[in-house]
Chain A
Amino acid sequence: DIQMTQSPSSLSASVGDRVTITCRASQSISSSLNWYQQKPGKALKVLMYAASSLQSGVPSRFSGSGSGTDFTLTISCLQPEDFATYYCQQTYSTPPTFGGGTKVEIK
């Protein structure tokens, strides 16, 4: 199975900050990398797919980059509604696997 390693596991930031989360795959996954946002009590929401494609309806302050083994999710100007946990997921091979998550908290 492909292991996905996310960092950091948590971070504290202020509204307006630029935030970057990284995700590393244990082998090359091309661009088969998705990012999800999870808030307590709410359904998971896909933010980015294919590493750098913004899902319809997601604000443009979210962006993604990378290919091969190293990927990043960037929130350019953190908003109050962005405090949540973020997960990367590879769908290059079965089983699809997720990173351990990054909890973005209010500083």
Chain B
Amino acid sequence: EVQLVESGGGLVKPGGSLRLSCAASGFTFNSYSMNWVRQAPGKGLEWISYISSGGSTIYYADSVKGRFTISRDNAKNSLYLQMNSLRVEDTAVYYCAREITMIVVVNDYWGQGTLVTVSS
């Protein structure tokens, strides 16, 4: 069974840092690209970052570029998101999502998310 479990969320002050983790199991992690998607309270979904299966290709949303860093450790079946210079508007539930191509690119499995609250 495919499982994605996020951790590392919490309360942090503006300007602070946080590192999120996503533990993957039930599939060959190093064969899949991964994404981070977030959802502010009561709002819709916002894609924020992508990393290819081997880690060589990375993309970021403009809203987090220069502040967030995505990475992965295929030996540990883990995905990470280092978040620096956090802002109040970064408050959201952060999801990791597996990516697969089935005719088109699809996020076929998602974690249940970890809540990040940025507040003074």
Contact = CB atoms under 8 A, between A and B. Distances in A.
A46 B4 CA distance: 15
Interface in B44-73: 44-47, 50, 59, 61
A96 B112 contact: no
25 contacts: A32-B105, A34-B107, A43-B4, A43-B95, A43-B113, A44-B45, A44-B95, A44-B107, A44-B110, A45-B110, A49-B106, A50-B102, A50-B103, A50-B104, A53-B102, A87-B44, A91-B104, A95-B59, A96-B35, A96-B47, A96-B105, A97-B47, A98-B44, A98-B46, A101-B44
B46 A32 contact: no
A66 interface: no
B61 A32 contact: no
B61 A53 contact: no
A94 interface: yes
Interface of A: 31-34, 36, 41-46, 49-50, 53, 55, 87, 89, 91-92, 94-101
Given A44-B110, A46-B108, A53 B103 contact: yes
Given A49-B106, A53-B102, A96-B105, 16 more contacts: A34-B106, A43-B4, A44-B45, A44-B95, A44-B97, A46-B107, A49-B103, A50-B103, A53-B103, A89-B107, A91-B104, A95-B59, A95-B61, A96-B47, A97-B47, A100-B44
B113 to A, nearest CB: 8
B27 interface: no
Q: Indicate the member of B35, B44, B50 with the most A CB atoms within 10 Å.
A: B44
Contacts of B104: 31-34, 49-50, 91-92
A34 B47 CA distance: 14
